[in-house]
Structure 1
Amino acid sequence: MTKLLEWISVTSAVLAVWCSLVGGYVKHKFIDENMNFILVSPIIFVILFGLYAVTVVLYRTFTFNNCEEAAIQLKAEILEAKKDLHDKGLRW
């Protein structure tokens, strides 16, 4: 199963439960007492997902590995290419 199908399955299941609670198909004292929270819960979940996404992006950005050897090799290849172009007559 692909990630898209997993997300669609979980989202549709949660949405079905939320719709049944909001629609009044399930009767319980606890549900009646917390109806305000149930109504705004999708907004809260979207905000929490956004905070999670920002946290993951920032964490992976700050812990990104530097490749010093690759940078040195790339700089050497750039100098070699410039020298080769200079030898072929290209002037900057």
Structure 2
Amino acid sequence: MTKLLQWLTVLFLFLAVWLGLVTNHIPVVFSDAAKEVVYFLPIYLLMAFACYSLAVIGYRVTTFNDCVQAADELKQEIKEAKKDLTRKGFVFT
């Protein structure tokens, strides 16, 4: 099962239960305060997911490793490619 299929399954199950609660197909008695929470639950979860995503992206950006050896190797390959192209008649400006 792919990750996308897992996310879609969870999303479908959540929406099915939420729609059942909102349309009273699932007979549960809520207080008025709880009804307000249930009605706006998808928005709350979307905001929580956005905050989580921003935190993960921020963490991964701050802990990104520099690859000094790979950078040096790439610079060397660029120099070799420039020499090869110069031999073949390419003029760099």
TM-score bucket of the superposed structures, by smaller chain: 0.7 to 0.9
Higher relative contact order (CA 8 A, sep 6+): 1
Q: How does 1:32-43 map to 2 (within 5 A)?
A: 32-33=31-32, 34-43=34-43
Q: 1:88 to 1:9 in 2, by over 3 A?
A: closer
Q: What CA distance in whole angstroms lies between the structure 2 residues aligned with 1:81 and 1:63? A: 32
1:60 alignment counterpart: 60
2:84 alignment counterpart: 84
Of all paired residues, the percent bearing the same amino acid is 42
CA RMSD across the alignment = 1.5
Q: What CA distance in whole angstroms lies between the structure 2 residues aligned with 1:43 and 1:62? A: 29
Q: 1:88 to 1:39 in 2, by over 3 A?
A: same
Structure having the larger proportion of residues in helix: 1
Structure 1: tracts of 5 or more residues without a match: none
Tell me the TM-score normalised to structure 1 length.
Answer: 0.84
